[in-house]
Amino acid sequence: MTVDTDLCIGSGACVLSAPEGFELDAARQSCPRHEVMGPSDAVLDAAENCPVEAIAIVEEGSGAAVFPPAD
């Protein structure tokens, strides 16, 4: 999972909904706690509800887009 820091506005919604997946850095921007982690409904929910769609999730092995979904 990645967070586009050019888009992130630091709302902290992802940290509140999935603290195991995200934290805010010193600049108050979201960053993943782990580069790789197992499937998590909370992390997916955080990505889907990011107000600026700054979070991307891909499958580890295949690199297939989980969120945002591939067109």
3-55 pLDDT per residue, tens: 999 999 999 999 999 999 999 999 999 999 998 888 899 999 999 999 999 99
Q: Which two tokens stand for residue 58?
A: 């891909």
User: What average pLDDT does range 57-61 have in this prediction?
Assistant: 92
Per-residue pLDDT band at 58 (split at 50, 70, 90): very high
CB 46 within 8 A of CB 71: no
φ, ψ of residue 43 in degrees (nearest 5):
-70, -40
Domains in the chain: ranges and CATH: 2-67 (3.30.70.20)
* HSE-CB of 36 using CA atoms within 13 angstroms: 4
What per-residue confidence (pLDDT) applies to 17? 96
What per-residue confidence (pLDDT) applies to 50? 96
